[in-house]
């Protein structure tokens, strides 16, 4: 069941290499500056990387797994505002002059592996190196673009089309066509009731874009998903490539 399935259709523009892509993009000097402080950590699905309101004590550069960035309303329901994997890191508010995390960040879909660095070490490093700082800020910027597209997507598109987008975002961040996602997981992303998820999944299945089995989604036709997502998918990914490669 944990079989690695080759990626279907077009290849995901985001995740190609092992390890964290931001770290891989660093210059030799920048990498040398922070690597002594990087410490490997792992997370199980559901684990919290940060909690809303808590001080940021360290930053995590993911090597595997998917982190969901969640905002909660009235201490009640929670909604995803974004998603990231091995292309990014968690703790960006620190670079933006905030010492607390505004969001819950939790592992989703698959277990995570990351390199963790203490906040003070990284702050010292970006004070020294403008190129390091720029690299990290560029990722933050791309994440902001993703948030922007989440807004227009939720305003303009039906549940089915928004679902296609989220599947793509997950697909980009796993190394297989098999994505572990329960309906409840989708509910978090889409902010809809669980049975609407069921219906939308069935529609995507009828269109042969995916196959859904218990707690899993199989990407069958990536091109079809991209057609459904329209412009709500793609731009942040292109910008990542342009700015960070």
Partner DNA sequence: CAGACTTGGAACGGTTTCGTACAGAAACGT
Partner DNA sequence: ACGTTTCTGTACGAAACCGTTCCAAGTCTG
Which x/- pattern, by CB under 8 A, does the window 47-86 give for a copy of itself?
Answer: ------------------------x-xx--x-x-x-----
CA-CA distance, 135 to 131, in Å (whole number)? 6
Q: Count the site residues for DNA by CB under 7 A.
A: 21
Cα gap 223→78, rounded to integer Å: 30
Rounded to a whole number of angstroms, the minimum distance from the CB of residue 129 to a copy of itself is: 12
Q: Which does 51 bind (CB under 5 to 8 A by kind): a copy of itself, DNA, none?
A: none
Sequence-ordered list of residues with C-beta below 8 angstroms from that of 44, at least 6 positions apart, any chain: 107, 111
Tokens encoding 208 = 């042969």
**Residues 79, 51: Cα–Cα separation, whole Å:** 14
Q: What is d(CA 43, CA 232) in angstroms, rounded to the nearest whole number? A: 29
Smallest gap from Cβ 154 to DNA, in A, equals 10
For a copy of itself, the closer of residues 89 and 103 by Cβ is: 103
Residues 6+ apart with CB under 8 A from 75: none
Q: How many CB atoms lie within 10 A of CB 111?
A: 15
Whether the Cβ atoms of residue 230 and residue 152 lie closer than 8 Å to each other: no
Q: Between 25 and 220, whose beta carbon lies closer to a copy of itself?
A: 25
Biggest CA-to-CA distance, the chain: 55
Q: Using the rule CB under 7 A, is 133 a contact of DNA?
A: no
Q: Toward a copy of itself, which CB reaches closer, 174 or 200?
A: 200
Binder among 192, 220, 227, 243 for DNA (CB under 7 A): 192
The verdict on 206 binding a copy of itself (CB under 8 A) reads: no
Rg of the chain in Å (alpha carbons): 18
Q: Taking CB under 7 A as the rule, does residue 195 contact DNA?
A: yes
Q: Does 196 bind DNA (CB under 7 A)?
A: yes
Element holding 43 (H helix, E strand): strand 39-43
Selected from 138, 183, 211, 224, the binder of DNA by CB under 7 A is 183
C-alpha closest to that of 79 among 161, 166, 189, 163: 189
The verdict on 155 binding a copy of itself (CB under 8 A) reads yes
Closest alpha carbon to 94 in 155, 131, 41, 139: 139
Task: Assess 158 for contact with DNA (CB under 7 A).
Answer: yes
Return the range that interacts with DNA (CB under 7 A); candidates 10-18, 52-60, 176-184, 230-238: 176-184
Asked whether position 232 contacts a copy of itself by CB under 8 A, the answer is: yes
Q: Is 212 in the site for DNA (CB under 7 A)?
A: yes
If binding is defined by CB under 8 A, does position 98 make contact with a copy of itself?
yes
CB closer to a copy of itself, 133 vs 211: 133
Question: Whole-number minimum distance, CB 69 to DNA, in Å?
Answer: 20
């Amino acid at each position: 069941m944990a079989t690695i399935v080759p990626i279907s259709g077009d290849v995901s523009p985001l995740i190609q290499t092992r390890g964290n892509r931001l770290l891989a993009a660093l210059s030799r000097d920048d990498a040398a500056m922070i690597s002594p402080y990087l410490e490997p950590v792992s997370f199980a699905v559901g684990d919290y990387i940060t909690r809303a309101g808590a001080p940021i004590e360290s930053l995590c550069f993911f090597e595997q797994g998917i982190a969901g960035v969640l905002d909660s309303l009235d201490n009640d329901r929670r909604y995803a505002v974004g998603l990231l994997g091995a292309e990014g890191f968690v703790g960006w508010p620190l670079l933006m002059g905030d010492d607390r995390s505004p969001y819950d960040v939790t592992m989703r879909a698959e277990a995570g592996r990351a390199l963790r660095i203490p906040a003070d070490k990284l702050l010292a490093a970006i004070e020294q190196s403008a190129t390091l700082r720029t690299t990290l800020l560029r990722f933050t910027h791309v994440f902001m673009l993703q948030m922007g597209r989440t807004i227009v997507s939720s305003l303009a598109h039906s549940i089915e089309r928004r679902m296609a987008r989220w599947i793509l975002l997950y697909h980009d961040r796993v190394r297989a066509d098999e994505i572990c996602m329960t309906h409840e997981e989708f509910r978090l992303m889409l902010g809809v009731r669980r049975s609407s998820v069921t219906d939308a999944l069935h529609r995507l299945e009828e269109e042969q874009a995916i196959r859904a089995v218990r707690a899993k989604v199989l990407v069958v036709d990536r091109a079809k998903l991209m057609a459904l997502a329209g412009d709500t998918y793609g731009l942040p990914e292109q910008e990542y490539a342009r700015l960070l490669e």
